Amino acid sequence: MTFDPVDFLTDAVPIDSTETVEPMREFLVGTLSDHGVEATVDDAGNIVATRGSGDPHVVLNTHIDTVPPHVPYERGPARDDEATGGEVIRGRGSCDAKGPLAALLSAFLAVDPDGGRVTLAVTPDEETLSTGAAALDLAADYYVVGEPTGLDVCNAAKGRFQGTITLGGENAHAAEPDDGVNAVSALREVVDALETFDGRSDAPGVHADLGGPTLTPTTVDGGTATNQIPAECEVVVDRRSVPPETSEGFRSAISAHLRDYVPDDVTVTFDLTDRESPFLEAFSTPADDPLVTTLAAAAGGEVRPFTAATEASYFAADAPTVVFGPGYLADEEGAVAHSDREYVPVDEVREAAEAVEATLDALRD
């Protein structure tokens, strides 16, 4: 039976994968079975299938969950606001990430595994906690992570950490402010600390591919009554990291930096947000790595960083890793992935499949 990635995508996009991935998982496992490949579903909900048994071992990874709400399927000529002159498939998951899945699946089924091994590993919760990807232990030589990159090969991405700064003071009547310690007032020093954090001598600095890290306060919560000196204030911060910074390194560094800025009579602590899985940390694969150069030559795209955090973070510490696929996170008109205008160019789905297949073949030579 011949596999057509566009036919697969036409069937996959109408399957709602927002609240549960089970129908999509059953469809994917069934498709693999129809093509003579038996897949397993592990305790973390990952779909894993392998062909061949030699070296090198290449893992093709992407995810089947999508963000809500579900957007209906449509197929037809591109509209004026869509970045292609050909046919597109619209709907939730068309580019993030069922389009990339269709391309990776096509290459997985088409390649001759003799002289190498290829594994398809599809995760269930990339859009939330990535517990599936965190549980994978595949010991591969290369990883290709499917996301919408417009056929560019993305060899690096920033990480994302989140945590809460907690300031502690002492309650008092607002009419007698000197009787208390105002935790909210210390926000002035916290903002100064955040703005100077990446200027310290041991900061990670500017990365050659990713640029500098960012540190952004996003929400503030403090006080319990309008006529009372607030004894507590919390500030949530978003960190977009670059190598070699780790989540633990960030936690330790910002804790010390804040203490240097916040007044001595205000307590200050910083805690990373509790997660069931590790944070997605920054990664960078050298631009001259064979995986990068081979896939870029096959796809005809650029080599550049990916602009969002991805599950590639979990694999890059073990082996060269790239992010690649058809479609766009955003185009000139605005957001594409996660938006109500999500679409993927049909030609790019086929081109991505052919490029990955050619790369698998070349890496075995």
Please tell me which residue in 16, 65, 125, 351 is annotated as part of the active site. 65
Q: What 3-state class would DSSP assign to 95?
A: coil
Q: Which two tokens stand for residue 304?
A: 């550049």
**Rounded CA separation 296/365 (Å):** 17
Please tell me which residue in 16, 82, 126, 342 is annotated as part of the active site. 126
Residue carrying the six token digits 């650029």: 302
**Rounded CA separation 317/298 (Å):** 25
**Rounded CA separation 287/153 (Å):** 10
β-strand partners of 238: 162, 216
Q: What 3-state class would DSSP assign to 313?
A: helix
Query: How many helices (DSSP H) and strands (DSSP E) are in the chain?
Result: 9, 20
DSSP state, residue 184: G
34 is catalytic: no
155: which residues sit within 8 A by CB, 6+ positions away? Answer: 209, 284, 285, 286, 287, 289, 292, 303, 304, 305, 322
User: How far is C-alpha 182 from the geometric centre of its chain's CA atoms?
Assistant: 39
Residue type present at position 114:
D
- Determine contact, residues 349/9, Cβ cutoff 8 Å: yes
Please count the residues of the chain. Answer: 365
DSSP state, residue 181: B
β-strand partners of 49: 120
126 is catalytic: yes
| Active site amino acids | 65, 126
